[in-house]
Structure 1
Amino acid sequence: MKRELCKAFCEQLNVRAVKAGLAISTGFTLSDLEPLGFYVTGPDNMGRFRIEDDGTTMPMIEAAGIDLESKTRKEALDQLLGEYGASYDADSGELKSLSMPEDEIPAAALKFVSLLLRLQDLILLTPERASSSFREDAIKAIRTVLGDRAVILEDTAISPEVEFPADLIIQAAGREKVAVFLAMSEQRVLEAVVAQMAVTYETETPCSVVALLDRDSTVSRKLRQKASNRLTAMPIFEGDEKAAVQRIEREVLGRQRAA
């Protein structure tokens, strides 16, 4: 088995000499289906070598919509690079290993490939994918908490007169319905505010409107003040999911029935 496994991995390995050292292509593929590769550069004046990527890994991740300057992402990136003994040169866009003697290159190369593969997972956190994940997680959490105590409809209009449909319309027996807008952007919060104004002053539909924010940074301070003064509630999902969903539960069922 070991021989067959080594053969399977090594047969897809392509090594060629380049001016800076060696260019290695592996059998792994990146998110854009391009082969994953790296370079072994050196030796330097001390006879040591370094493993580097081609300078496109991090720019490609940023091009996919990942903000590497945000505090959370930067801390995660620094932790990951530290775990694999690598560094990132923001000016050149290159990922690099520490310098090492020649006999350490094979083991270090395997670690470097693992790092490149793990970095590809950051692309799964693009705004579009994050939006889908937030929606799925929030709806699942709300359905779990409410169970069969309320009827939950997805992507439904509050009433024919209200322009923006809610992500969820929730109604418990003997209670007015609650419209939940899942907000990943300021635009969605504004739509919730418009809906609240419409049901309050135009249609007089018995309905509470809640904007469930994906995270605290979803809205600016100015919009937060405006929305907070008009919406029934505006809980924040990230970091305190349980309390955010319980806030919606209390609105749907009333304080006593939700306790």
Structure 2
Amino acid sequence: MTLEIITSDALGPVTHGFFTRRGGASSGIFHGLNCGQSSSDQSEIVAINRSRVASAMGTDTEAMRGLRQVHSARAVIADPDRTPAPEADGIVTDRPGLVLSVLTADCQPVLFADPEAGVIGAAHAGWRGALDGVLEATVEAMETLGAERGRVKAVIGPTISQAAYEVGPEFLDAFVNEDPGNTRFFANGAGDRYMFDLPAYGLHRLRSFGVGHAEWMRHCTYADADRFYSYRRTTHNGEADYGRLISTIRL
């Protein structure tokens, strides 16, 4: 099956893609393009999937740069040499040919570009990373390479939508303690539960920081099992593990 790659006109001439699970070699609960090396999927199959992604980006896996994602607010400049992945959740470069990548399964994958400056970035932004500032940290790292935030375009790929993201009162408290205005990203759910709008919150953080353009592509990972992996859906289904989607960008 051919790979399915979602792209955004906003990122213009920059090669990028939010890959769905279609077209991969994994089977069973991982069926599709599982690129998660930390999953319990067969490592050789994950390597095949990642090779297919690299080929779709016009290169090989040696050019791919990823992260040991820890839900932090840390962003790093990609090492041009192939070294162990750093512990961070944002990565940027001005080096043509390097492919930046992040893995997600409900969290926000965010791709950034300032084509005029020749600087790109990628971030993994779950609720904790977004609340702590990983999106802003990624833009700031881009600025150290010559980007200007007013020119930066940021696109949020497939992520969990508000209709599927039920949280408890302690979750709401964490956001309200940061900013009472954050209540607007929550809707009432059943009992004492709330429904959290993660992509709307991500857009708010990006726009408030002065990013020139920010958008969400409006794909919900939870709602579309044929196209996307979802940690929350896997949990609700009682499955042992889940695949990881990959999002990539290169100059």
**Normalized against structure 2, the TM-score is what?**
0.29
**Normalized against structure 1, the TM-score is what?**
0.28
Q: Computing the radius of gyration over CA atoms, which structure comes out larger, 1 or 2?
A: 1
The structure showing larger relative contact order (alpha-carbon pairs under 8 Å, at least 6 residues apart) is 2
Whichever structure has more helix as a proportion of its residues is 1
